[in-house]
Structure 1
């Protein structure tokens, strides 16, 4: 029994010993924890800030925007951004006697950055509790190196990309621009921002107080560059159209203007220009109105440029043929107090002469003889009143009014292009369909090897007949200034009174020309719109047609499209600026 008692006593003693040791270890650990969290707290926080684990996003290169021939329209160039850690700077030891302290660091930084010391100190003081602050964004490497050479506490640099636009103002409305954070703000940059952005990478590292990387830790996630976007725009044609449009705006003191060139067979936009424009590389004096892509956004009444489609509707109805004549006497048409007038009494005319003389009375009488929705259906099938659908920000759909019961005056005005509104791009789309044998293909801003499926909206032969009539307008009518040496050109002028606060303004106009070339087998369609020319010339045949001629001539030769006039007729035709007759309202 004594042996058992002795062994029990020893077991109890060992258990107490283990408990005692555990208690002592616990007290040591608790004491150390108290020391670290209370007594040495400031030291440890400072060390944590000095040597901190950081996770940094690696910026991805934004995709390029290219024209159809691979010419760059938007590219990203690497730059450096200078950042600061104000919190770390204000916690550094300060000893003015030996020139050490936050104020001294700020002074050195101000000198190397070339800024006022007071301004910089105020900036640091306002952000005392922050550990991240921009000092200078997207600067050249040599400038960043000069700042970093000063070795200011808490100042470091990080890589960023800056967008550059080689074509400048020439393509600005198409391409758009990004903000300082590389996010799309206008144009293609905005519409396709997600595809262009790419995927940023990521890396972790230990960084000291001065922003120097001590060592990397963990695996890196590589960045993925953004997608390149290849547009249908031909920069050669874009430059040409921009130059001529700008010259016309200056010459005629116009408020604004736009022009569009389309490939008839594929629906590709080869050029789209506007005035006024802006330089996306220098936006210091940028005006909000300059940002407008007027070819897509601005709407206007198309006037007499719609008469070829009224004739198309008439021929499609089966009630008329190309030989049909219309009696326009006495040169006006009354609907109660509303009167439609021609510039003169043209008497009995055929469809071709209707376009040459731009007879509003003739177009009205044709429309009124058709089913009341015939002209409306024709316009609708050509895309009037619907968005073109190129995905552009702010794209306007236009206005094509629809009425359960049409008043005769509404049908009449619709026939010669009043009472509806279109954009320059929409009007170009309609002429493209007419030029393509009545086959309407979807419009695209992207380069296409094979055109998308379209729809036959005008019978092929009728479309050819109407184009031939429009050719007479350029040969003998108001569109003579649109003639091009060596080429057959078909088109229609338009001169539209602008709408003001109290109705139509009789001293403010929109000058239009819409045409196609070569007329024998059209390859290109183009529309020129000049808003509010203030000179002595304001008719579409005087203001817009010459722009069409110069741009289309350059486009045809640039694209190696062979002349279609017979050899004996390829001499330079006389392009009269002053027309020997008065153009009818809307003509």
Structure 2
């Protein structure tokens, strides 16, 4: 008789049922996941293809900037003074460049950079996607480096500022930094005007950042606006040449020359020594950056005597032929003594200027009072900004007091106890040259004559011009005669101020004047700092520079000569005999 199997118990039946349910649940979930993924694949590839396209674009479409072209700076005739030229910038993706790549040695040699530093930077910034390798280099050099085929090395177009006139116009034009942002001069003061607005574009790049193609333009780059200066590059060159020559010949510390158009107030030339080359600033010293014509102040000395006399003539108390007794050739104010070159005795006011008599002009100043002279100087633009808008311009000092001491009135009349910059002095002489009108000075070209302010009568301006012409013809300024033209002006020689006050053996030689005298066209100021050797007077050092510059400048401006060659030869100057 066979044995019969035991019948499953109730609990065994429940356990078997749970096992089957779990198995079925797992299979059902698996099938559901598979079905969901399958449906999503069908949805993305067949129904909703736009989603995948957009996700792909997010990873490959980029927005790049487009460099803007900085505005050009030109002289009044369109000659370029500052231009932006296209160049290439090499950059690298350190994640793609092998720091041990032997081709990096050749790249570093071509770019004249340190190979060790280049390799180390690639190691240090391996986690980044961008570093500069060499900025703003010649496109031909960039192509040569890229031809090495180094993976991860790329280039992009940029612009570099170039200054065709070099050091000749450096102080006025100024310069930019590597990102074409103004740092000095016109480049700084008109930076917003000259700067362009960068553009933006969509580009397609591969997963290594390499450009595949341009897709669309978001915003075009807007170039900066151009600037036309009042500068005449021809006059700038000759002024720079003559100033540099005199500084070298006299082993001077430096010098300044400013030339103004007397009928418009435009700056035609503005040069300084020592200068610098804005295209090569590898060994640039900060002291060379100053535009001394605007930033450096000095006591103008005897160049103020004609202006003090003009103030006296304006009062009506004096005429050019009024006699002033300058005996015995000196005056004492307590422990302070002023002297003339010698005892001139009685002099008409015209000769007080031509002989540069300190005693004579101080007597006039004490008679009319310090307020009259000071107010007249102020009307000429001294002791206040010129309004030229140049960074770092110094205002100068024009003293004011409730009660003038006689010695203060005396020194004010011959240019001590006050300070000006070269442009202010040129502006004051401009008013004498053009018949008594003070025009606002500018470095921008003007297409029309601006509204000026009358600061002296035409009669007084003409009288002072006659005195200045006599000073050049027979007085202390005889070496300022330009060939074939008449000129008028005044010499000045002042002690330089050092750490302990006036330096006994260091001087500034100055000449301020105008030409031609039948119808003045140009006013010019020349100042030479600390000329060495036996010659240091304004009539010996600065006046000859004025003569050479004005002679060439007037010819370049097509001003008709006033004298024949024979007449010019007769008046060839010898020693002045007297110094101012």
SS in 2 for 1:189: helix
Alignment equivalent of 2:185, drawn from 160, 184, 187? 187
Q: What are the Cα deviations for residues 199-220 of structure 1, in whole angstroms up to 9, with x where unaligned?
A: 1111122222554212334443
Distance 1:428 1:331 in 2: 30
Q: What are the Cα deviations for residues 58-99 of structure 1, in whole angstroms up to 9, with x where unaligned?
A: 01111111011111111111000011122x327xxxxxxxxx
Question: Are the aligned partners of 1:329 and 1:345 in contact in 2 as well (CA < 8 Å)?
Answer: yes
Question: Are the aligned partners of 2:200 and 2:220 in contact in 1 as well (CA < 8 Å)?
Answer: yes
Please state how far the C-alpha of 1:467 moved relative to its aligned partner: 0.4
Q: What are the Cα deviations for residues 311-356 of structure 1, in whole angstroms up to 9, with x where unaligned?
A: 1000111211222111111111122111111121111111111011
Distance 1:500 1:344 in 2: 28
SS in 2 for 1:280: coil
SS in 2 for 1:273: strand
Distance 1:567 1:379 in 2: 39
Equivalent residue, structure 2, for 1:89: 96
**In structure 2, do the counterparts of structure 1 residues 539 and 29 end up closer, same or farther at CA, with 3 Å as the change threshold?**
farther
Indicate whether 1:278 and 2:276 are aligned.
yes
Equivalent residue, structure 2, for 1:94: none
Equivalent residue, structure 1, for 2:108: 113
Q: What are the Cα deviations for residues 434-481 of structure 1, in whole angstroms up to 9, with x where unaligned?
A: 101011111010111112101000101100001001111001111000
**In structure 2, do the counterparts of structure 1 residues 390 and 208 end up closer, same or farther at CA, with 3 Å as the change threshold?**
same
Indicate whether 1:177 and 2:175 are aligned.
yes
**In structure 2, do the counterparts of structure 1 residues 323 and 64 end up closer, same or farther at CA, with 3 Å as the change threshold?**
same
TM-score by length of 2: 0.88
Distance 1:415 1:161 in 2: 53
Indicate whether 1:440 and 2:435 are aligned.
no
Equivalent residue, structure 1, for 2:75: 67
Alignment equivalent of 2:160, drawn from 159, 162, 167? 162
Equivalent residue, structure 2, for 1:10: none
Matches within 5 A, 1:59-458: 59-86=67-94, 88-89=95-96, 102-104=98-100, 106-114=101-109, 117-458=115-456
TM-score by length of 1: 0.87
Distance 1:330 1:543 in 2: 29
**In structure 2, do the counterparts of structure 1 residues 520 and 56 end up closer, same or farther at CA, with 3 Å as the change threshold?**
same
Please state how far the C-alpha of 1:513 moved relative to its aligned partner: 0.5
Please state how far the C-alpha of 1:146 moved relative to its aligned partner: 2.2
Distance 2:37 2:199 in 1: 41
Question: Are the aligned partners of 2:483 and 2:547 in contact in 1 as well (CA < 8 Å)?
Answer: no
Question: Are the aligned partners of 2:108 and 2:115 in contact in 1 as well (CA < 8 Å)?
Answer: no
Distance 2:492 2:370 in 1: 24
Q: What are the Cα deviations for residues 400-459 of structure 1, in whole angstroms up to 9, with x where unaligned?
A: 111122211111100000000011111000000110101111101011111210100010
Question: Are the aligned partners of 2:396 and 2:420 in contact in 1 as well (CA < 8 Å)?
Answer: yes
Please state how far the C-alpha of 1:126 moved relative to its aligned partner: 1.5
Distance 2:99 2:415 in 1: 72
SS in 2 for 1:468: helix
Distance 2:33 2:560 in 1: 97
Please state how far the C-alpha of 1:151 moved relative to its aligned partner: 3.5
**In structure 2, do the counterparts of structure 1 residues 566 and 369 end up closer, same or farther at CA, with 3 Å as the change threshold?**
farther
**In terms of mean alpha carbon deviation, does 556-565 or 307-316 score higher?**
556-565
Please state how far the C-alpha of 1:51 moved relative to its aligned partner: 5.4
Question: Are the aligned partners of 2:477 and 2:539 in contact in 1 as well (CA < 8 Å)?
Answer: yes
SS in 2 for 1:110: helix
SS in 2 for 1:373: helix
**In structure 2, do the counterparts of structure 1 residues 213 and 409 end up closer, same or farther at CA, with 3 Å as the change threshold?**
same
Equivalent residue, structure 1, for 2:576: 579
Equivalent residue, structure 1, for 2:567: 569
Larger radius of gyration, structure 1 or 2?
2
Alignment equivalent of 1:58, drawn from 58, 66, 77? 66
Please state how far the C-alpha of 1:24 moved relative to its aligned partner: 4.6
SS in 2 for 1:185: strand
Distance 1:125 1:205 in 2: 29
**In structure 2, do the counterparts of structure 1 residues 332 and 52 end up closer, same or farther at CA, with 3 Å as the change threshold?**
same
Distance 1:28 1:340 in 2: 108
Distance 2:517 2:269 in 1: 20
Q: What are the Cα deviations for residues 131-166 of structure 1, in whole angstroms up to 9, with x where unaligned?
A: 211001111112211222333333211111111111
Q: What are the Cα deviations for residues 482-516 of structure 1, in whole angstroms up to 9, with x where unaligned?
A: 11232111100001111223322221100000010
Distance 2:280 2:541 in 1: 31
Distance 1:473 1:219 in 2: 68
Equivalent residue, structure 1, for 2:52: none
Moved over 6 A (4+): 47-50
How many matched pairs?
537
SS in 1 for 2:135: strand
SS in 1 for 2:517: coil
SS in 1 for 2:102: helix
